[in-house]
Chains A and B, each alone.
Chain A
């Protein structure tokens, strides 16, 4: 296996040989921050392009074709346009909160994004309560959405934000429970540790039935958490025009748009980390030659491959199902997912205690 920490250690030693360690750490922090932001933006652009092409394929269309080869530059032109689009100042809005809201949403998703372990030694925020931290940071995105709806002085935004509040806070619970199920199995909250414990078998295999149930619950709840169809009520296009970001133009809207896609990436990334073995290659017991060949594929590729597979699954769902109604969304969560999740957690605990795992 490649270990990315060789490179980071080399850079660290090089910097320390040049300057005092305090300054070196500062420069490293800046570098890492820049890398995270660049990765964030690049992935967002890839995701938007993927969404358009996947959606077009489901709908018997071609999707973007004219800008660049097969429309590859389409998203760049959208970005250029969005950056120079006028940002409208609105009367009778709470200006500070109105401008703060998109940043909160993006901040939440960038923080969560930096928790993801991309490859061995390639994790930014990695400490012993990683999963807990990740849940904490991902959950304050809803604050930005609520603020956006409240401060816009628009009734559509208001309803969208209220829906979003009810929905996201509820589904946070299911996400937590299904993650907890896996924490019981892994015995640690540290993300890098969770991944390395899957070296012999992925948790979805190790935990067999309860892990699979947790995976399904996680996918449903994760989809709801990212406000994507069939749970896109907060921005339900045919009901609330554009929901909580109705009044945002230019980059304000751009931030919401990017954050939505990156939240999808994060949800899928976590799914691949805790269920599908993260950057661990596919190993099949007994096939040593095959396993050795799989080890040659870098961890980043494995991680991104698994993540994009989950993203594709979620896009498939988004472009197939109609939208739920708000009471149905809440019913689904509180009457079905939460009880099933709790029972599942108990089963998992039982399995672990009795040693029934694979």
Chain B
């Protein structure tokens, strides 16, 4: 991957040119970097959503005490939250950012963990057993004399009826926290808190050799475990120049699609549960179990399979695999009709979802909401079509696109995608070629110096892996593009003026997974 470095003083104007004149409207990812003596900086991966042209630009500053970079949060909406993430991990101040606070860590956290000189000892950051005081929230800016200035945060004033949804709440799918300011049932302001399941995977990865990092990717978004691991394996293989066999490609593609069906089934269940239809929730889980049986037989794991490895897959498929998958595919299409009868076509479901939480195509691109959410708003953002990998350029499938961008469309996209996944599987399952399922690799894997990027279509959007290597057996910096972070960033636009019950409908249909957001 070739990264163009832009000097700091030209940075802002160059980015504006890229955004406005070159049409780079999709900020794929923003990677904070600590180059040691070369300073701190940020790599921006940009894409033109019309021409699918990709570039990567970077900028850096050598000041380690008060590093500052101009903000781009007014050019791309998603940059707002990405810059908060970079500030949280590297302490880089983004000049002009409207609300620069920590995103994942507590506001009384000491130090910036992803810097190379971060002190990890318990004494600096013990387990603080008192609640985080939101009154201490403040926004950081750079004063004119070069010092960091704190401005107390006045997001909510004392007269507002502020309610916390989460971190422990049944509808947030884990430990996300919303602070809502309510006017009766209506939502006035939203503030999203992440980080309750921030496990520091990117930092641990810098200590582990490559094959060990693989295990961590499964636990990012556990409902697209295969795809996540596929992306990392692909990135490492690309860097090493390793060709995997045809058989591996077949197996990986089929497993990716099975995983997608699994995830979408869970999506249907959980969306139904959030809207109060518990029976549909159980139906979804009932059918998902059949899929898990197949997965378990092949990989040995139910939810987290640890199946892909560098150069292939862990074990060959079992003899009855094809038959079972075919039976399942036939079965699931019938079951989809059942869900449609019970839930999708139900008048209450339609009333709850139609026209709620609308995201326009521009918003979706600007926020970088890929996956079902993007496609429901009419953005053709499927990585399988945009940058085909594995066997996706050889199979025939349709990219499901809806145009209304409301909750109901987001729900339908997933149902139709299950059908498309079944089509892909049916095209491949009978023609899996004979051959090795795994290419022999050296016991210790080192990848040559440089930076590498690979992306796959995860169950809920584009999952990207960025590796910066110095030629060691573990990466210098590894960054996973979270699929869910853009989704929750876009919630603010959707929620304003809606009711509390709509929060559940919107949250359910966005289909985010918290460990993937927090990493």
Tell me if chains A and B make direct contact, with any CB pair below 8 A. Answer: yes
Point out residues on A near B: beta carbons under 8 Å: 55, 58-61, 155-156, 159, 163, 229-230, 232-233, 236-241, 319-328
Interfacial chain B residues near A59, Cβ < 8 Å:
278-279, 282-283
Interfacial chain A residues near B342, Cβ < 8 Å:
320
Interfacial chain B residues near A320, Cβ < 8 Å:
277, 279, 342
* B152 in the interface (beta carbon within 8 A): no
**Contact (A325, B282) CB under 8 Å given A238-B273, A238-B276:** no
Q: How far is the CB of A333 from chain B (nearest CB, A)?
A: 15
Q: How far is the CB of B29 from chain A (nearest CB, A)?
A: 32
Q: How far is the CB of A254 from chain B (nearest CB, A)?
A: 21
Q: How far is the CB of A219 from chain B (nearest CB, A)?
A: 16
Q: How far is the CB of B415 from chain A (nearest CB, A)?
A: 16
| A321:B170 contact, CB within 8 angstroms | no
Closest 9 CB pairs of A and B: A323-B276, A322-B275, A322-B277, A59-B282, A325-B501, A238-B171, A155-B163, A322-B276, A238-B274
**Contact (A321, B185) CB under 8 Å given A229-B276, A230-B276, A236-B501:** no
* B351 in the interface (beta carbon within 8 A): yes
Point out residues on B near A: beta carbons under 8 Å: 161, 163, 169-171, 182, 185, 272-279, 282-283, 286, 342-343, 346, 348-349, 351-352, 499-504
| B343:A156 contact, CB within 8 angstroms | no
Specify the chain B residue showing the minimal Cβ separation from A56: B282
Interfacial chain A residues near B273, Cβ < 8 Å:
238
Q: How far is the CB of B305 from chain A (nearest CB, A)?
A: 26
Interfacial chain B residues near A321, Cβ < 8 Å:
276-277, 346, 348
Interfacial chain B residues near A239, Cβ < 8 Å:
171, 500-501, 503-504
Specify the chain A residue showing the minimal Cβ separation from B508: A238
Specify the chain A residue showing the minimal Cβ separation from B278: A319
Interface of chain B: mostly helix, strand, loop or mixed? helix
Q: How far is the CB of B107 from chain A (nearest CB, A)?
A: 23
Interfacial chain A residues near B283, Cβ < 8 Å:
59-60
In whole angstroms, how far apart are the Cα atoms of A55 and B279 in the complex? Answer: 8
In whole angstroms, how far apart are the Cα atoms of A328 and B350 in the complex? Answer: 12
**Contact (A238, B279) CB under 8 Å given A325-B501, A325-B502:** no
| A232:B170 contact, CB within 8 angstroms | no
Interfacial chain B residues near A237, Cβ < 8 Å:
170, 276
In whole angstroms, how far apart are the Cα atoms of A55 and B278 in the complex? Answer: 9
| B161:A155 contact, CB within 8 angstroms | yes
| B170:A60 contact, CB within 8 angstroms | no
**Contact (A322, B504) CB under 8 Å given A229-B276, A241-B170:** no
Interfacial chain B residues near A327, Cβ < 8 Å:
185, 499
In whole angstroms, how far apart are the Cα atoms of A61 and B277 in the complex? Answer: 16
In whole angstroms, how far apart are the Cα atoms of A232 and B278 in the complex? Answer: 13
Interfacial chain B residues near A229, Cβ < 8 Å:
276
CB pairs A–B below 8 angstroms (16 shown): A59-B278, A59-B282, A155-B163, A163-B185, A230-B348, A237-B170, A238-B273, A238-B504, A320-B279, A323-B352, A324-B352, A325-B351, A326-B185, A326-B501, A328-B351, A328-B352
In whole angstroms, how far apart are the Cα atoms of A286 and B169 in the complex? Answer: 61
Q: How far is the CB of B471 from chain A (nearest CB, A)?
A: 50
Q: How far is the CB of B265 from chain A (nearest CB, A)?
A: 15
In whole angstroms, how far apart are the Cα atoms of A321 and B276 in the complex? Answer: 7
Interfacial chain A residues near B182, Cβ < 8 Å:
159
| A156:B163 contact, CB within 8 angstroms | yes
The one of A155, A156, A323 in contact with B348, judged by C-beta atoms closer than 8 angstroms, is: A323
In whole angstroms, how far apart are the Cα atoms of A232 and B286 in the complex? Answer: 25
Interfacial chain B residues near A241, Cβ < 8 Å:
169-170
The one of B163, B279, B343, B499 in contact with A325, judged by C-beta atoms closer than 8 angstroms, is: B499
Specify the chain B residue showing the minimal Cβ separation from A240: B500
Besides the contacts A155-B163, A322-B277, A328-B351, what 14 more A-B pairs have beta carbons closer than 8 Å?
A: A55-B278, A59-B279, A59-B283, A230-B276, A238-B170, A238-B504, A239-B501, A321-B276, A322-B272, A322-B346, A322-B349, A323-B352, A324-B348, A324-B351
Most-contacted residue by chain A among B171, B286, B502 (CB, 10 A): B171
In whole angstroms, how far apart are the Cα atoms of A319 and B343 in the complex? Answer: 11
| A60:B286 contact, CB within 8 angstroms | yes
Specify the chain B residue showing the minimal Cβ separation from A60: B286
Interfacial chain A residues near B276, Cβ < 8 Å:
229-230, 232, 236-238, 321-323
In whole angstroms, how far apart are the Cα atoms of A95 and B454 in the complex? Answer: 60
Interfacial chain B residues near A61, Cβ < 8 Å:
282
Q: How far is the CB of A312 from chain B (nearest CB, A)?
A: 15
In whole angstroms, how far apart are the Cα atoms of A327 and B499 in the complex? Answer: 9
Specify the chain B residue showing the minimal Cβ separation from A325: B501
Interfacial chain B residues near A232, Cβ < 8 Å:
276
Most-contacted residue by chain A among B161, B163, B342, B502 (CB, 10 A): B163
Most-contacted residue by chain B among A229, A232, A325 (CB, 10 A): A325
Interfacial chain B residues near A322, Cβ < 8 Å:
272, 275-277, 343, 346, 348-349, 352
| B279:A319 contact, CB within 8 angstroms | yes
Q: How far is the CB of A164 from chain B (nearest CB, A)?
A: 13
Specify the chain A residue showing the minimal Cβ separation from B343: A322
Interfacial chain B residues near A155, Cβ < 8 Å:
161, 163
Interfacial chain A residues near B346, Cβ < 8 Å:
321-322
Most-contacted residue by chain B among A59, A163, A241 (CB, 10 A): A59
Specify the chain B residue showing the minimal Cβ separation from A328: B351
Specify the chain A residue showing the minimal Cβ separation from B271: A322
Specify the chain A residue showing the minimal Cβ separation from B348: A322
Specify the chain B residue showing the minimal Cβ separation from A326: B185
| A159:B500 contact, CB within 8 angstroms | yes
Q: How far is the CB of A156 from chain B (nearest CB, A)?
A: 7
Q: How far is the CB of B258 from chain A (nearest CB, A)?
A: 23
In whole angstroms, how far apart are the Cα atoms of A259 and B392 in the complex? Answer: 58
Most-contacted residue by chain A among B185, B273, B343 (CB, 10 A): B185
In whole angstroms, how far apart are the Cα atoms of A42 and B302 in the complex? Answer: 43
In whole angstroms, how far apart are the Cα atoms of A58 and B351 in the complex? Answer: 24
Q: How far is the CB of B281 from chain A (nearest CB, A)?
A: 8
Interfacial chain B residues near A55, Cβ < 8 Å:
278
Specify the chain B residue showing the minimal Cβ separation from A163: B185
Q: How far is the CB of B178 from chain A (nearest CB, A)?
A: 12
Q: How far is the CB of B266 from chain A (nearest CB, A)?
A: 15
In whole angstroms, how far apart are the Cα atoms of A320 and B349 in the complex? Answer: 11
In whole angstroms, how far apart are the Cα atoms of A230 and B182 in the complex? Answer: 24
Interfacial chain A residues near B500, Cβ < 8 Å:
159, 239-240
